[in-house]
Amino acid sequence: MVQQLIAEKGGTIPFSEYMDLALYAPAMGYYVAGQRRFGAKGDFVTAPELGDVFGKCLARQIVQIFEAIDERCHILEFGAGSGKLAATLIKALENDGALPERYLILETSPDLQQRQLETLKQRVPQHVERFSWLDRMPEQAINGVILANEVLDAMPVEMFAVDDHGIPQQYLVKAAEAGFQWDYCQAPEKLAEKIIQLDLPAGYSSEINPAVDGWIAMLAEGLTQGVVLLIDYGFPQHEYYHPQRTGGTLMCHYRQHSHPDPLTLVGIQDITAHVDFTAVAEAAVAADMD
């Protein structure tokens, strides 16, 4: 499918498009196809898989947010993984007398939706009817909390390099007999402007998340009053593009092993990049969030 699309588009596609297909293409993308991803038997372990401490800590924060809001509150969680975090939160919020009116899960993978439902039936059967699944933002803005744990790092990024003449180059992906290969072209104007602003030396390569501005603006529109909680691994911008971090942060995860080659194991390995926290904060300010 990916090779066919590359051929239809003239022989190359931007890396961001390739990463989106590898992770989210219908029936074949890593987060869409049915396979175990989380936990010791999967490809990587996230904090909710290790126990309840992470969820209980978040619940204490959510209680404080709910107490500051006069209206009935909701939780909207992006990419709820195995559903363990949602189950822990509901249990902890019940103990604190602060249950949300609804717990919405925005999840595009039918396989993960089913797994999340099974987890909730096992762990909090008395609250299953409180949950609803969405494949897009709710039509009406909510009061409460929008939660995304390790979601930003799975957004498709653009890979780039600064050539010997200081000109930003965009990474492209092309099909080859044995799979896929790299190609390059001069970065388009909007991407080049962002790269130039970073003031990076010749030979430097890294990534930029082109979708973060629009995604944060969408969250701002979807929240009447409340807090957006984004938990992820990353750096402020001056550390993300540190002079010594000349190869970027992109990594792949397969069966508890990490490696830097995203052009292999298409659809069966995770592809991820660290988060530029400064870019996220600037996007939030631009969207009139505090």
Question: Minimal CA–CA distance to 76: which of 127, 130, 39?
Answer: 130
Q: Helix 84-95 to helix 110-123 angle, to the nearest 10 degrees?
A: 40
Section 14-35 average pLDDT: 88
Angle at 239 between CA 260 and CA 147, to 5 degrees: 80
pLDDT per residue as tens digits for the range 116-170: 999 999 999 999 999 999 999 999 999 999 999 999 999 999 999 999 999 999 9
The Cα 80–Cα 112 span in angstroms is 8
Indicate the SS3 state at residue 203.
coil
The Cα 158–Cα 139 span in angstroms is 30
Q: What pLDDT, on a 0 to 100 scale, did the predictor assign at position 206?
A: 98
Q: What pLDDT, on a 0 to 100 scale, did the predictor assign at position 40?
A: 54
The Cα 119–Cα 158 span in angstroms is 35
Name the one residue in this structure whose structure tokens are 């790092």: 153
**Contact between 112 and 31 (Cβ < 8 Å):** yes
Q: What pLDDT, on a 0 to 100 scale, did the predictor assign at position 41?
A: 61
Q: Residue 137 burial by CB count (10 A; 0-12/13-18/19+): exposed, middle or buried? A: middle
**Contact between 271 and 19 (Cβ < 8 Å):** yes
The Cα 262–Cα 260 span in angstroms is 6
Q: What pLDDT, on a 0 to 100 scale, did the predictor assign at position 47?
A: 84
Q: Is the pLDDT of residue 36 over 70?
A: no
Q: Is the pLDDT of residue 23 over 60?
A: yes
- The better pLDDT of the pair 39, 215 is held by 215
Q: What pLDDT, on a 0 to 100 scale, did the predictor assign at position 45?
A: 74
Q: Where are any strands of DSSP class E within the chain?
A: 12-14, 74-78, 102-106, 131-134, 142-149, 158-162, 168-176, 179-186, 205-208, 223-231, 234-235, 251-254, 257-259, 270-272, 275-276
Q: Which two tokens stand for residue 121?
A: 């039936």
Q: Is the pLDDT of residue 4 over 60?
A: yes
Please give the torsion angle defined by the CA atoms of residues 21, 24, 26 and 27, in that order, rounded to the nearest 10 degrees: 100
Question: Minimal CA–CA distance to 67: which of 228, 221, 227, 231?
Answer: 227
**Contact between 24 and 111 (Cβ < 8 Å):** no
For residue 50, give the DSSP letter: G
Q: What pLDDT, on a 0 to 100 scale, did the predictor assign at position 34?
A: 61
Indicate the SS3 state at residue 252.
strand
Q: Residue 4 burial by CB count (10 A; 0-12/13-18/19+): exposed, middle or buried? A: exposed
The residue type found at 51 is G
Please give the torsion angle defined by the CA atoms of residues 52, 54, 55 and 58, in that order, rounded to the nearest 10 degrees: 150
Section 78-84 average pLDDT: 94
Q: What pLDDT, on a 0 to 100 scale, did the predictor assign at position 267?
A: 87
As a whole number, the mean pLDDT across the chain is 93
Indicate the SS3 state at residue 44.
strand
Q: What pLDDT, on a 0 to 100 scale, did the predictor assign at position 146?
A: 98
pLDDT per residue as tens digits for the range 227-282: 999 999 999 999 999 999 999 999 999 987 899 999 999 988 999 999 999 999 99
Q: What pLDDT, on a 0 to 100 scale, did the predictor assign at position 80?
A: 94
Section 168-189 average pLDDT: 94
Question: 205: left (phi > 0), else alpha (psi -120 to 50), else beta?
Answer: beta
The residue type found at 119 is T
Q: What is the pTM of this model?
A: 0.92
